[in-house]
Structures are given as structure tokens and as C-alpha cells.
Chains A and B, each alone.
Chain A
């Protein structure tokens, strides 16, 4: 019994280690506990963001010569006036920090702790007069209206099932991991190559419906039975041909046997 427990423990330990790998790739300032949030954010910004976004969010234009340590060709848009909204979106999706300026930011592990993210959001939000983090209310939205709006504005790239898609030069990400706040932020910001939608194009009320639909699309009802990947007629046709067709051939064989 003891040997079994020891074996289980030995098996579980590497798994525990794998669950929380070290946070490699970010600079953590040696700030004493109790440092004000914005002050901590300033220090984090200096260590992790300023190389590309410039001092105090001034931005860095791309240049031929390397301007960072390790021959980094750093370049990034200015952050003055982008507000807490953009910082919250890019940091909590793991889009930032970005290894290279010219690649598409992708959803990845968030290396900052929640308090560090709060600190960075507070700092970037204090650069200029940018919009705050939105608070969507999907419970006030209407899923059916959301589907209609999603079809009009979003499905071209993200597909009507919100499973993402491709376009020349970019990937439209799937929305299954996007939180309601992140969806609301992305609509207003237009990250990377996505167009932005102002309140004139999509009102806050309509945005609630879109968020409600995206939430529904994460776990849609499948009234027909099997979902088969929920990506439309190609896998469904494959099933029809291979399963339905085989069944028909089987029927033909049975009929032929009886007639003999």
C-alpha cells in the first residue's frame, strides 16, 4: 500500500511541475510588497513593454538598426490614449508581450500574475484619456439577435459557429476561449487586422446580444444529434457517403441474396 502511494506520488509530482512551468520571458521588478498599483505597473512597463512601445507609451517606429539588447528590431504602436481597455485585452489574452513585432499576436499563456496585469492596466490606462475596460451584460442580450448581428459583422472571418478562420496574412482566432469582456473589447479595439466597430456600427445593446451569442456558441445545442465538429456540410457529407452509402449497399446486397 505504501509502495503504491509512493508510486502515485512519484507520478503526480512531474504532473504538478508541468502544470505551472516557470514564468520565463518576462522581467519581474523587485518591488516591495505594498507598492502602489500604478507604480508597480510603471516598473513592469519599463521592463517588459517600453522596448517596443517606447517610454511612457510614445511608440517606436521600425528602423533598420537594432535598438534593443540581443539585436532586437523593436517597433510598436504608441499607447497614449488606448486606455485600460486595450491593455486589459492584450494582456489577459496573452497577446502581449510579443516575441517579434511583425507576427500576429496569438492567445497564449499569461505570464504576468493577475495583480501584475492589474498594475499594467492601471499604468497604461493612465497614459492619456483612453476608454476604460468595458462591462458587457450578455444576460441582457438576445441570442437570436446576436446570431443575426454576428452573421452580419463577424461571421465573414470568425465563421458563424465562432470557430475562427483564415484570411490572407492572418488567422481569425476561434472564440471558444474569449470571455465576454474580451469579446466586447475586441469589437471596439479591432486587434491586429480586425476592423473596429464603433458604437454607431454596433450599439452597446447590440454588443450584449453578440456576446450572448458567442457565449452560446461555445456550447451550442445540437438538435440533429451528433455535432460532427460543427463545421458544416463537409464532415456531414462524409458521414452521409460513408455511413449512409455503406448502409444502402448493404441493403442492396441483402435484397439480392433474398431473390436467389
Chain B
């Protein structure tokens, strides 16, 4: 292990300090006029590559630090510095290191030997660069870290290996439902044809399992699965407010004024119009959602307030690999 590390350090030192022999055939006649090495420009390029690398690393660090103030602005500054430094390095290479010369000649009809000439042209154009490998290394570092910085936000899509957290909700038997202002909700206050949002009392509202949609249906319109008997006291049903398709908040409730000829009551997600039936346990009526809206069993306590009678019928939030094999759990 240590021997290998030593080899690595030596290799790195050689890479940093060693100079490459001029490439190409020394015998061949030059096409590009030889330019004098420009050590200062090379130092500039290295410095700019270093700055680009530092900016990219700063992006990664800021991205990893969640509670930072002005995080978005800092991310923008870091990415901006990295991109600007990379661009400036390219500018310096183009103007100060690559030999530039404008030649005009008629385009030849035959192309014999032209490819060799082009290859020679490319090889000779870089002749002024003395620390070629170091510059390549600097460029690779800048490009590589920038690539990592751009890939890092993909991690925010969700946990890759541990999906256990996704099944946790703050609901358990006895936890009271509260409204937006934190007041407990009396069962009597839930009116038919209206639509309410509720949260768990004394728990974080920002978690995916917290918000609920609550409506009252007439008890004879309810057709819940038999194992959910008693989940809807007085016809009041509660479901997770988070759509099982892409995780938007279900903000739409349609209720018929004249049920005989109008569409049945339904929750509708405004993002892609997934439509769920509150009367049959949140089954999907329409739209891209692949599974029913999780239902929360309710009970009415002695003072007439609504409380949870358990946890959801299934995992809340947008679907992921294997979601159907999970059950909602207490946090």
C-alpha cells in the first residue's frame, strides 16, 4: 500500500516536472515557423486552470453544505468562476501559446500528403508549449472537477441505495389533525362539497408524509375496500396530499353540484391531471399515476376532533423502484 503510494507520488512529480521531448520528425522541414516558449503565458494558463478547478470544488462543497445562507447565489458564483476561468485559459492558449499565422493558398485538387501536412501542422503549432503534460493535467483537472460539479445535483433526485426513509411518515394512531394555522380540526367543521388541507400536530410539515386532503362524503356514497371499514367516521376521509405520480400537491377537488348527471367527486393533481376517487380508497380514475392515493384512517376523539387511527394504507409520495412492496412506517 505505502509502496504504491510512493510510486504514485514519484509519478506525479515526474509528470509535473518532466518536460516532453519535441514531438514529430526532427528531420522533416517545418511548416509552422518555430515560436519562442512563453513561460509566463503557460503559468497564466495553469493558474486559470487551477482557478477553474477551485471553483468547481467550491461548487461541490457549497452543494454539500445544506444549511448555508445564500446557497443558490454561492453556487452560481462558484460555477461562474469555474466557467469563466476555463474560458480565459482557452483564450490565453489560443492567443499566446499556439502559433498563429494566416496563410492563403489555393485549395489543391489532389490531397496526396495533405493529411500528413495537417498532422505536422497540428504537432508543430504546440511546439512553444514546454510543460505540455502539466498543462494537460491542469486542463483535465479543471474539466473533470467541473464535470463532477455539474453531475452532483443529480444526487438530489433521491436516495439511491437506502429508500427506507421514503416510507416514514409522522402519522401514528392518536396524532391530531391540525389546519394551516395549527388549530385542531373538529369533525363538525368538515362540510360536504368542500375541501380541506390538514397537517400532523407537533410534527414537521415539510416531510412528504405530512400533508393531507380531507373531505366529507355522504356515507352511502362511500365504497371503501372491506378491510378499511371504520376508516371514515361520519363519511370523512383523509388522503395524502402528495400525488403518487410525480409528487405534486393535490390542489384540485371537483365535486358535482348535481351528482346524477355530473362527474363523480375526485381529487385532481394540477401537474399532470392524475385523478383519484375519494369514495373508493383513492383509486386512480384518470391520468399518469400508477397507484392509489394512500389513505389515512381517521377517528373522532371525545372532544369531537379528528385524529389519525394509524398510518397510511401505503407508502406516500411519488413512486420509485419497488414502492409497491413497502408499507408506510412511523418516523
Contact = CB atoms under 8 A, between A and B. Distances in A.
B220 to A, nearest CB: 16
Contact of A198 (B191, B260, B261, B273): B191
Interface string B257-284: 1101111001010100101000000000
B88 interface: no
A234 B252 CA distance: 23
Contacts of A102: 261-262
Given A156-B270, A201-B194, A101 B261 contact: yes
Interface in B162-180: 180
Given A156-B251, A157-B252, A193 B287 contact: no
Interface in A196-222: 196-198, 200-201
Given A168-B273, A168-B287, A195-B195, A190 B252 contact: no
A62 B287 contact: no
A165 B252 CA distance: 11
A128 interface: no
Interface in B229-255: 251-255
B263 A62 contact: no
B189 interface: yes
B92 interface: no
Contacts of A57: none
B316 to A, nearest CB: 20
Contact of A168 (B194, B251, B275): B275
A195 B194 contact: yes
B258 A76 contact: yes
A192 B194 contact: no
Nearest to A191: B257
Interface string A50-61: 000000000001
Interface residues of B, number: 27
Given A192-B262, A195-B194, A196-B193, A168 B286 contact: yes
Chain A interface, DSSP helix/strand/loop, else mixed = loop
Contact of B252 (A152, A167, A192): A167
A122 B177 CA distance: 43
Contacts of A156: 251-252, 270
Nearest to A102: B261
B104 to A, nearest CB: 12
Contacts of B285: 168
20 contacts: A62-B260, A62-B261, A75-B258, A156-B251, A156-B270, A165-B270, A166-B273, A167-B268, A168-B266, A168-B273, A168-B285, A168-B287, A169-B263, A170-B254, A170-B263, A191-B257, A192-B257, A193-B262, A194-B254, A196-B194
Interface of B: 180, 189, 191, 193-196, 251-258, 260-263, 266, 268, 270, 273, 275, 285-287
A169 B196 CA distance: 21
A167 B193 contact: no
B257 A77 contact: yes
Contacts of A196: 191, 193-194, 255
Contacts of B196: 201
Nearest to B190: A200
B261 A75 contact: yes
B257 A190 contact: yes
Contacts of A168: 254, 263, 266, 268, 273, 275, 285-287
A190 B194 CA distance: 9
Nearest to B191: A198
A91 to B, nearest CB: 15
A190 B253 CA distance: 11
The 9 closest A-B pairs by CB, nearest first: A156-B251, A193-B254, A169-B263, A102-B261, A77-B258, A195-B195, A156-B252, A62-B260, A195-B253
